[in-house]
C-alpha cells in the first residue's frame, strides 16, 4: 500500500484505518485500510455513496464505534501528535467536543428535547472548560450570535422543537465550536436542509472556518457541495479511498472510473440536456466486497487484471492518487471509449 | 400539443383542530390556489422547498387528498366528480410513483403480488395471463422476472423504486405523477432511474408531472417548470427559459443556491435570509416579500397578492415589480408603493448564463 | 396404565411441537416477513420452552377424559376417602366430597383453557373490527367511537363483571365466554386503531388507493396484515389475564358453576374448608401460574420476533 507521504505539520494523520463489524451475516469491512492527512485550516471533503464507509471513518476518528464494530489493530489515528486509538477513554472524552467536534445530518436527534438550546451549548463549556454557570451561558449566547441566529439571547431560552431545521443546524454548529476546536467533522451537515438553507449553512461554515482557524472534514454525497467547500477530496468506494486529489484536479481530470462515473451521472445545472451516464449495478454489501478491484464488476473498462488483483493507490498527477490499474495501462481507457463509440454508432 | 391535464384554482387547506371532538381553529394553507396545464407527452417539473405544497398538489390532483376547492380536468373528464365509478376509471389512466422506496411497498406482499394488484383491481388480466404480464413489466423496468416471488426487503432502494414504477405501469396509465422519485437514491442509482423514466416516456408516450426539490434533476427531465412557494405557483416557464433567465427573485435565489460540481465556476450567490414562513400563518400580499431582494420591493408587495401573469412568451411569473404587470402603477401607489416596477436580473445569474 | 397414557400425552405434545417446528423451518426458508419472524422466534429459548409447555397443557385439555384417573364429579368414598392428602392412588389428594383432585384439575384445564381462548378470540375479533373501523373511517366517527372506548375503559373490569353477575346470577359456560369476551376488547381496539391510523397514511396504502382499490381491498390486503402482529401479541398476553379473571370469578362463585370443575372453583372448594386442604389450592394454583407465565413468555417472545422495525430491514 503506497500511502501518500505525510507532509510534516499534519493536524490529523490517519493510517491504514480498518473498522470491521462482526455480524451474523459475516464480517462487514466498512472501512478497510484508509489513510489520509488533514492539514491545519484545510477543508477536506470525503465523498461517496451510502455504504461506502465515509461516516464510519469519521466515527472511528472520534472513537465512537459501538459493538459489534471494532477498530482493528494496526490502525493509526494521530491528532496533534497524539495517538487517539491508544488514549484511555477519559482522555479521549477530553478531546471529543473540545479539540475535535462533530456535526450531523439530523440535528433534531442530536439535541436533547428537554433542555433549552442555550443550556445545551453552555453545558459543553461547563464540562470542558469548567466555566461558571454565568460565563457558560454568556458564551452560549455569544456562539449563537456568531452562527448568525437573530436575537440570540432570546433564542438561547428556546427548546429545539421551537426552531426550524436550519436554525437547529446553526445551534449544532454553535455547540460544536464552543471550545474552539482544531478540527470539525461535518457529516452530511446540509443533506436534510432545503437548498436555500443549505447555501446559508455552507456560507456560515466558511466564515467560521476563517474565524476559528480550524480544519474541516466534510462528509457528503453531493459533489456540488464538495466543489464549493473543499480544497482536497477523498473519493470512497467499498470501504476504501479510490481517488484523492485537490478539488480542481479531481473535477478537471478525474482518473478513477468510479469518480468519472459519479461526475457523469449527476445532472448539472446549466449543462446541455443529454442522457445521463449511469454506473450499472449497485454498491455490494460490505460483507461481500468483490475480490480484485472492488469496483470491477461495475466498471466500463474492467479487464482481467482488476478482476484478479487488488490495485494499490497510484500517483497519477501532482498530489493526485487513484486506485486503478489504468494508471499503468492508460491506453485501455481510450480503447474502451473507441469501442463504445463504435457500438453506439452502429446501434 | 393539447392539454392532457388542466388544474384551475386548486386549493387544499388542512384544518388545524383542537379539543376532543376536533374543533377547527385555523388552517394550513398547503396549496393556495394554483392553476396550470400539463400538455400531452410533456414533463412538467414542479419544484420548491419542503413545505411549499408541491406534494400536496400532486396528491390533490389525483384525489388521493380531497381538495378543498378548484377544478381538475383530465382529458376532458372532471376528476373531482362525485361519481366513484368514474374516479376508478380515471385511476387507470393517472398513476403515481413515490419518493420513499421503503414505505411505498407492502412488506408482506411479494413483488409479483404488488405489481399484479392493479391488474386485478381493474380486471385487466387473471391467472397465467396476469403472471406473464407481471414478468413482462418487471423486465420492462430492468428487473429479472424471477424477482416476482421475492419480498421487497430483499432489494436495494433503486430496485424498489423500479418495482414501484412497474406497479404504476401495470394499469397502462397515460399520466404519472412522479413525487420525488429519485431524491432518496444515491447519485449513480438516481441516474439509472431517471433514464428509465425517460425511456418509458419515449416508448409509451407518457406524460409526467415531476415533483422534486432538486433543481438540477428537474432541469434535466422537464419540458416546462413550475416553481412553488408557500402554496402558490410563483413562476412557470419552459425549462430553458426558466433556467436561463428566471424572472422571480425567489427562483433566482433558488437557482443560485444550487452547488455546482465544478470548482472553476465558483459563482456569486444570492443567499436568502431567514426561513420559509409557516403555511399556517403566511405573510399577507406576496408570499415571498419578507425575504425578497428585488430592488423595487416596497409596501405594495405586502398588500397585493401578485397574480401569475405572462411576462414574456410562455413565461409566467407572479411579481408586481417585474414588468409587464396588469397591476397598474396607480393600483400599486394606492397600496403604498414607492418603487416603479423594473426588470431585475441579479449579477450572480447574469454572469452564469 | 395411567402412567402409559400420560407418557403418550407427553410424547404426543412433543411430536406436535416437532411438526410445528418443521413447518416453521419451511416457512422461514420461503423468505417473507412472517417466515423471518418465526425463524427468529425459534431462536428464543424461553419462548420455545413455554411453547412446549403450552402444547402439553393443550394436550391434557384435549384428552382430559383419558388422562383423568377418575370421573371428576364422582364421590369415591365419602366415608373413607374425603379430604385426603396426596398419595400414590390420588397424586393431588382428594377433596371434602372424596373426589379425585387430579381428575378435577385435568378436567378444569379443559374448561379454563377453552373459556379463556374463546373469550380472547371474541374480544380480539370485536376489538380489531371496532379499532379498524374507527381508525380507517377517521374524523368525527373516530372521535365519537374513541370517546365511547374512553368511557368504557374508565370502569374497572372486575366491577363491570360483578355488576353483570349481580344482574344475572349464575350463568352458563357460553354466557361466561360472552361476558368475558365482550368486556375485554376495549384496550385492543385502541391499540389497533392507533396502528391503523399510522398505516393508513403510509405510501403503500396511498399507492393502493391510486390504483383504484376499493376500501374492502385496502383494509384486507394492506391494513389488516399490518395489525396482525399487534393483535397476535395482544391476544397472547391477554389470555393470561382472562385465565386469572375466570379463576377469580369462579373462586368467588360467579364464574364456572359447580359441579363443573375449573381451576378457580377447585381452589375455592379447598379454601372454604376450615381444615385448610393445602393440596386443593397448590395444584390448581400451580396450573394457573405456570400456564399464565407460559402465555406471557410467548407473548413477549412474539413481540420481539414480530417487531415491525425488524420486519423491514434496510
pLDDT tens by residue, B1-50: 578 999 999 999 998 877 766 677 888 899 999 999 999 999 999 999 88
In sign, the C-alpha dihedral spanning C307, C311, C312, C314 is positive
**pLDDT score, position B1:** 57
Closest CB from A225, A247, A282 relative to B259: A225
**pLDDT score, position C33:** 66
C-alpha–C-alpha distance, residues C84 and B353, integer Å: 104
Residue A245 backbone phi and psi in degrees, to 5: -165, 170
What's the CA angle centered on A125, arms A121 and A129, to 5 degrees? Answer: 170
**pLDDT score, position A8:** 58
Contact: B153, C208; criterion CB under 8 Å: no
Question: Which of the residues A233, A270, A272, A300 would you substitute to probe the B interface, choosing the one with the greatest number of B C-beta atoms within 10 Å?
Answer: A270
Quote the radius of gyration of chain B (alpha carbons, Å). 22
Percent over 90 (pLDDT), chain A:
37
**What's the number of domains chain B is made of?**
1
User: Closest-CA residue in chain B for A254?
Assistant: B262
Contact predicate A139/A178, CB 8 Å: yes
- Higher pLDDT: C278 or B336? It is B336
Interface B-C, measured as beta-carbon pairs within 8 A, has a size of 85
Grid cell at residue A317: 498527477
Contact: B117, C212; criterion CB under 8 Å: no
| Cα–Cα distance list, A235 to A16, A53, A72, A241, B169 (Å) | 16, 11, 22, 6, 37
Q: What is the mean pLDDT of chain B?
A: 90
- B93-116 pLDDT per residue, tens: 999 999 887 889 998 899 999 999
What's the CA angle centered on B154, arms B152 and B158, to 5 degrees? Answer: 75
Count of alpha carbons within 13 Å of C14, Cβ hemisphere only? 6
CA A64, chain centre distance (Å): 15
Contact predicate C83/C96, CB 8 Å: yes
**pLDDT score, position A346:** 39
C-alpha–C-alpha distance, residues C171 and C179, integer Å: 10
Q: Using pLDDT thresholds of 50, 70 and 90, give the confidence band for residue C170.
A: confident
- Higher pLDDT: A132 or B45? It is B45
Chain A residues at the B interface, defined by Cβ less than 8 Å, are 49-50, 164, 166-167, 194-200, 202-203, 221-228, 247-248, 251-252, 261-263, 265-270, 273, 275-280, 282-283
Q: What is the mean pLDDT of chain A?
A: 87
C-alpha–C-alpha distance, residues B91 and B110, integer Å: 23
Closest CB from B253, B255, B273 relative to A269: B255
Neighboring chains of A (3 or more beta-carbon pairs < 8 A): B
What does the DSSP 8-state code read for residue C222?
I
Residue A2 pLDDT more than 60?
no
Percent over 90 (pLDDT), chain C:
26
Nearest Cα to B244, choosing from B317, B343, B345? Answer: B345
Percent over 70 (pLDDT), chain A:
95
**Element (DSSP H or E) covering residue B282:** none
Residue C314 pLDDT more than 60?
no
Domain span including residue B314: 241-350
User: Which superfamily does C73-300 belong to?
Assistant: MetI-like (1.10.3720.10)
Contact: B117, C202; criterion CB under 8 Å: no
User: Closest-CA residue in chain C for B58?
Assistant: C210
Contact predicate A244/A254, CB 8 Å: no
Residue B161 pLDDT more than 90?
yes
**pLDDT score, position A321:** 94
Grid cell at residue B255: 437557482
Grid cell at residue A305: 487484471
C-alpha–C-alpha distance, residues B57 and B59, integer Å: 5
- C71-123 pLDDT per residue, tens: 888 887 778 777 778 888 888 888 888 888 888 999 989 989 999 999 999 99
Count of alpha carbons within 13 Å of B63, Cβ hemisphere only? 22
Contact: A251, B261; criterion CB under 8 Å: yes
**pLDDT score, position A344:** 45
Q: Using pLDDT thresholds of 50, 70 and 90, give the confidence band for residue B125.
A: confident
Contact: B118, C211; criterion CB under 8 Å: yes
Residue C31 pLDDT more than 70?
no
The residues spanned by each domain of chain C are 73-300
Q: Helix count (H) and strand count (E) of chain A?
A: 13, 13
Tell me the average pLDDT across C31-49.
75
Identify whether B196 is part of a domain: no
- Residue A121, Cβ neighbours under 10 Å: how many? 27
- A66-83 pLDDT per residue, tens: 888 899 999 999 998 889
Closest CB from B49, B219, B353 relative to A267: B219
C-alpha–C-alpha distance, residues B289 and B287, integer Å: 6
Please tell me the pTM assigned to this model.
0.85
Amino acid at each position: 500500500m503506497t500511502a501518500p507521504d505525510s507532509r510534516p505539520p499534519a493536524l490529523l494523520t490517519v493510517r491504514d484505518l480498518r473498522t470491521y463489524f462482526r455480524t451474523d451475516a459475516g464480517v462487514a469491512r466498512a472501512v478497510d485500510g484508509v489513510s489520509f492527512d488533514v492539514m491545519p485550516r484545510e477543508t477536506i471533503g470525503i465523498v461517496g455513496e451510502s455504504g461506502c464507509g465515509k461516516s464510519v471513518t469519521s466515527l472511528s476518528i472520534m472513537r465512537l464505534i459501538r459493538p459489534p464494530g471494532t477498530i482493528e489493530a494496526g490502525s493509526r489515528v494521530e491528532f496533534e501528535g497524539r495517538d487517539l486509538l491508544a488514549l484511555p477513554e477519559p482522555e479521549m472524552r477530553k478531546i471529543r467536543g473540545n479539540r475535535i467536534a462533530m456535526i450531523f445530518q439530523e440535528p433534531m436527534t442530536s439535541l436533547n428535547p428537554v433542555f433549552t438550546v442555550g443550556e445545551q451549548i453552555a453545558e459543553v463549556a461547563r464540562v470542558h472548560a469548567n466555566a461558571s454557570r454565568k460565563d457558560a451561558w454568556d458564551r452560549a449566547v455569544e456562539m449563537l450570535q456568531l452562527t448568525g441566529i437573530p436575537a440570540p439571547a432570546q433564542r438561547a431560552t428556546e427548546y429545539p422543537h421551537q426552531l426550524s431545521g436550519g436554525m437547529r443546524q446553526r445551534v449544532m454548529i454553535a455547540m460544536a465550536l464552543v471550545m474552539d476546536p482544531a478540527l470539525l467533522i461535518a457529516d452530511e451537515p446540509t443533506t436534510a436542509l432545503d437548498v436555500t438553507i443549505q447555501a446559508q449553512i455552507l456560507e456560515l461554515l466558511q466564515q467560521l472556518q476563517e474565524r476559528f482557524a480550524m480544519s474541516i472534514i466534510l462528509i457528503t454525497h453531493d459533489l456540488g457541495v464538495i466543489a464549493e467547500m473543499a480544497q482536497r477530496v477523498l473519493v470512497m468506494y467499498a470501504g476504501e479511498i479510490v481517488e484523492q486529489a485537490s478539488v480542481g484536479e479531481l473535477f478537471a481530470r478525474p482518473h478513477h472510473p468510479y469518480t468519472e462515473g459519479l461526475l457523469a451521472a449527476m445532472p448539472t445545472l446549466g449543462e446541455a440536456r443529454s442522457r445521463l451516464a449511469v454506473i450499472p449495478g449497485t454498491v455490494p454489501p460490505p460483507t461481500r466486497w468483490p475480490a480484485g478491484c472492488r469496483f470491477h464488476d461495475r466498471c466500463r473498462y474492467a479487464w482481467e487484471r482488476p478482476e484478479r488483483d487488488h490495485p494499490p493507490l497510484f500517483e497519477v498527477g501532482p498530489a493526485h492518487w487513484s486506485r486503478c490499474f489504468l494508471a499503468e495501462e492508460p491506453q485501455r481507457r481510450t480503447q474502451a471509449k473507441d469501442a463504445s463509440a463504435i457500438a453506439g454508432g452502429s446501434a | 400539443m393539447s392539454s392532457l391535464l388542466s388544474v384551475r384554482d386548486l386549493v387544499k387547506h388542512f384544518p388545524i383542530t383542537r379539543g376532543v371532538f376536533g374543533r377547527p381553529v385555523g388552517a394550513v394553507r398547503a396549496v393556495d390556489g394554483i392553476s396550470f396545464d400539463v400538455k400531452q407527452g410533456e414533463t412538467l417539473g414542479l419544484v420548491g422547498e419542503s413545505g411549499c405544497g408541491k406534494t400536496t398538489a400532486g396528491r390533490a390532483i389525483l384525489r388521493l387528498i380531497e381538495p378543498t376547492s378548484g377544478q381538475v380536468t383530465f382529458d376532458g373528464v372532471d376528476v373531482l366528480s362525485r361519481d366513484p365509478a368514474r374516479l376508478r376509471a380515471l385511476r387507470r389512466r393517472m398513476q403515481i410513483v413515490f419518493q420513499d422506496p421503503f414505505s411505498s411497498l407492502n412488506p408482506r406482499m411479494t413483488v409479483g403480488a404488488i405489481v399484479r394488484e392493479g391488474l386485478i383491481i381493474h380486471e385487466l388480466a387473471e391467472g397465467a395471463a396476469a403472471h406473464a404480464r407481471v414478468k413482462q413489466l418487471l423486465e420492462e423496468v430492468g428487473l429479472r422476472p424471477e424477482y416476482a416471488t421475492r419480498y421487497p426487503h430483499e432489494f436495494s432502494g433503486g430496485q424498489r423504486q423500479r418495482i414501484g414504477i412497474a406497479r404504476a405501469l401495470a394499469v397502462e396509465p397515460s399520466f404519472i405523477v412522479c413525487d420525488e422519485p429519485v431524491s432518496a437514491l444515491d447519485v449513480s442509482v438516481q441516474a439509472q432511474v431517471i433514464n428509465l423514466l425517460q425511456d418509458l416516456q419515449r416508448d409509451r408516450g407518457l406524460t409526467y408531472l415531476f415533483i422534486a426539490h432538486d433543481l438540477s434533476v428537474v432541469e434535466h427531465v422537464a419540458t416546462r417548470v413550475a416553481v412553488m412557494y408557500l402554496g402558490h405557483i410563483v413562476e412557470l416557464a419552459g425549462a430553458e427559459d426558466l433556467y436561463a433567465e428566471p424572472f422571480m427573485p425567489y427562483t433566482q435565489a433558488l437557482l443560485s443556491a444550487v452547488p455546482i460540481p465544478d470548482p472553476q465556476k465558483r459563482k456569486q450567490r444570492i443567499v436568502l435570509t431567514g426561513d420559509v414562513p409557516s403555511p399556517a400563518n403566511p405573510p399577507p400580499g406576496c408570499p415571498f416579500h419578507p425575504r425578497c431582494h428585488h430592488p423595487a420591493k416596497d409596501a405594495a408587495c405586502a398588500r397585493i397578492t401578485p397574480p401569475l401573469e405572462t411576462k414574456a412568451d410562455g413565461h409566467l411569473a407572479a411579481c408586481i415589480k417585474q414588468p409587464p404587470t396588469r397591476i397598474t402603477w396607480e393600483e400599486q401607489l394606492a397600496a403604498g408603493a414607492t418603487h416603479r416596477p423594473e426588470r431585475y436580473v441579479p449579477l450572480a445569474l447574469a454572469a452564469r448564463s | 396404565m395411567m402412567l402409559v397414557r400420560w407418557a403418550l400425552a407427553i410424547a404426543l405434545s412433543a411430536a406436535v411441537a416437532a411438526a410445528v417446528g418443521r413447518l416453521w423451518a419451511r416457512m422461514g426458508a420461503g423468505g417473507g416477513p412472517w417466515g423471518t419472524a418465526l425463524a427468529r422466534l425459534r431462536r428464543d429459548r424461553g419462548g420455545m420452552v413455554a411453547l412446549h409447555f403450552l402444547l402439553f397443557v393443550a394436550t391434557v385439555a384435549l384428552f382430559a377424559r383419558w388422562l383423568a384417573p377418575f370421573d371428576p364429579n364422582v364421590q369415591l368414598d365419602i366415608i373413607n376417602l374425603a379430604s385426603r392428602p396426596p398419595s400414590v392412588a390420588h397424586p393431588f389428594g382428594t377433596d371434602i366430597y372424596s373426589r379425585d383432585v387430579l381428575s378435577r384439575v385435568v378436567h378444569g384445564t379443559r374448561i379454563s383453557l377453552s373459556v379463556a381462548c374463546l373469550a380472547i378470540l371474541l374480544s380480539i375479533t370485536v376489538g380489531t373490527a371496532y379499532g379498524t373501523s374507527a381508525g380507517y373511517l377517521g374524523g368525527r366517527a373516530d372521535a365519537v367511537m374513541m370517546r365511547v372506548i374512553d368511557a368504557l375503559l374508565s370502569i374497572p373490569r372486575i366491577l363491570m363483571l360483578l355488576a353483570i353477575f349481580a344482574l344475572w346470577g349464575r350463568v352458563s359456560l357460553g354466557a361466561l365466554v360472552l361476558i368475558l369476551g365482550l368486556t375485554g376488547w376495549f384496550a385492543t381496539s385502541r391499540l389497533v386503531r392507533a396502528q391503523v391510523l399510522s398505516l393508513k397514511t403510509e405510501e403503500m396504502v396511498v399507492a393502493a388507493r391510486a390504483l383504484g382499490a376499493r376500501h374492502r381491498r385496502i383494509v384486507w390486503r394492506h391494513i389488516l396484515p399490518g395489525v396482525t402482529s399487534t393483535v397476535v401479541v395482544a391476544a397472547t398476553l391477554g389470555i393470561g389475564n382472562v385465565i386469572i379473571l375466570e379463576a377469580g370469578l369462579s373462586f368467588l362463585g360467579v364464574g364456572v358453576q359447580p359441579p363443573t370443575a375449573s381451576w378457580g372453583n377447585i381452589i375455592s372448594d379447598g379454601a372454604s374448608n376450615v381444615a385448610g386442604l393445602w393440596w386443593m389450592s397448590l395444584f390448581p394454583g400451580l396450573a394457573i401460574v405456570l400456564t399464565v407465565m407460559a402465555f406471557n413468555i410467548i407473548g413477549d417472545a412474539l413481540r420481539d420476533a414480530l417487531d415491525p422495525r425488524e420486519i423491514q430491514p434496510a
